[in-house]
């Protein structure tokens, strides 16, 4: 039976979009809620601002991720088409180029030539895309997947700081929002680090630090505006 291994790189595409979306959802919505609350906004105003931030942020994340990843996909497609033309017009030179790549990676010239011949006989474009251009099926750009993952993760993350706005008393609103946001940011950072094979502690601390900074700055600005208006 063939042994199939699972690697962290298999998750990079969706993991990056999901982590980015959830992190932005928690940080931006919590910061918005705290800023409006610090400016002495009513609980209803805080809730309206938070919901508006959730919807606008999710749509913005989806659009931005789609445009960004689509640009990457367009670049990959153009590179593949260029390689396809070169294979049709200069096949022997392309085979020699592929063999030279394998020699540079440590194969003996004769073995490199045999490997290049066999791989090109099987899938010439795939071999050149992978070994010359650095484009593989696992790492290829998927705009729709990235957009939905980013928007969905943002919405889930943004909903978490909104729970205290609905459930907690106004006097404890800021404290509960900060506490919940810190807990989920730490969990998010730790889970993302674990999924990527990195240190859980480092991931949790890194995400929590930048979330705390964003919430602190926004709360300070909200308090200043609240006193000035």
**Which has the higher per-residue pLDDT, 12 or 173?**
173
Question: What is the overall mean pLDDT for the chain?
Answer: 82
How many CA atoms within 13 Å lie on the side-chain side of 204?
11
Residue 136, sorted as left (phi over 0), alpha (psi -120 to 50) or beta, turns out to be beta
What is the model's pLDDT at position 1?
A: 46
**Which has the higher per-residue pLDDT, 113 or 83?**
113
State the pTM of this model.
0.67
Residues 97-149 have pLDDT tens digits of 888 988 988 888 889 889 888 888 888 888 888 877 777 665 566 788 888 88
Contact of 182 with 212, CB cutoff 8 Å: yes
Distance of CA 221 to the CA centre of its chain: 29
Neighbours of 74 (CB within 10 A): 12
What is the model's pLDDT at position 155?
A: 93
What is the model's pLDDT at position 3?
A: 44
Question: 2 pLDDT band (50/70/90 cuts)?
Answer: very low
Asked if pLDDT for residue 81 goes beyond 80, the answer is yes
Interior angle at CA 101, CA 97 and CA 103, nearest 5:
115
Neighbours of 180 (CB within 10 A): 18
3-state secondary structure of 204: helix
Neighbours of 31 (CB within 10 A): 24
The residue whose two tokens read 């609103």 is 173
What is the model's pLDDT at position 140?
A: 62
Domain borders along the chain are 13-222
What is the model's pLDDT at position 68?
A: 86
Pairwise CA distance, residues 121 & 127, whole Å: 10
Task: Give the DSSP letter string of 83-104.
Answer: HHHHHHH-HHHHHHHHHHHHHH
What is the model's pLDDT at position 48?
A: 92
The residue whose two tokens read 């071999």 is 127
Task: Give the DSSP letter string of 105-155.
Answer: TT--HHHHHHHHHHHHHHHHHHHHHHHTS---TTT---HHHHHHHHHHHHH
Q: Name the percent of the chain lying above pLDDT 70.
A: 89
Residues 165-207 have pLDDT tens digits of 888 887 888 888 888 998 888 888 887 777 667 788 888 888 8
What is the model's pLDDT at position 53?
A: 92
Asked if pLDDT for residue 56 goes beyond 90, the answer is yes
What is the model's pLDDT at position 52?
A: 93
Nearest to 63 by CA among 29, 12, 21, 13: 21
Pairwise CA distance, residues 54 & 58, whole Å: 6
Residues 46-66: b if buried by 16+ CB within 10 A, e if exposed:
bbebbeebbeebbeebbeebb
Asked if pLDDT for residue 215 goes beyond 70, the answer is yes
């Amino acid at each position: 039976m063939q042994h199939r291994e699972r690697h962290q790189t298999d998750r990079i595409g969706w993991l990056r979009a999901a982590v980015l979306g959830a992190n932005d959802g928690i940080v931006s919505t919590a910061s918005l809620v705290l800023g409006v609350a610090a400016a002495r906004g009513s609980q209803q105003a805080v809730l309206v601002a938070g919901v508006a931030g959730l919807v606008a942020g999710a749509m913005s994340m989806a659009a931005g991720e789609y445009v960004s990843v689509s640009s990457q996909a367009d670049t990959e497609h153009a590179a593949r088409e260029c390689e396809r033309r070169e294979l049709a017009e200069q096949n022997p030179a392309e085979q020699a180029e592929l063999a030279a790549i394998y020699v540079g990676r440590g194969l003996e010239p004769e073995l490199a030539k045999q490997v290049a011949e066999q791989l090109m006989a099987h899938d010439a474009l795939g071999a050149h895309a992978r070994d010359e251009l650095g484009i593989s099926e696992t790492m290829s750009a998927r705009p729709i997947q990235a957009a939905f993952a980013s928007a969905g993760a943002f919405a889930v993350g943004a909903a978490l700081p909104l729970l205290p706005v609905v459930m907690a008393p106004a006097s404890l609103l800021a404290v509960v929002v900060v506490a919940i946001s810190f807990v989920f940011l730490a969990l998010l950072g730790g889970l993302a680090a674990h999924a990527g094979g990195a240190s859980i502690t480092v991931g949790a601390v890194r995400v929590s630090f930048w979330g705390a900074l964003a919430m602190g700055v926004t709360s300070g600005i909200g308090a200043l505006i609240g006193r000035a208006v």
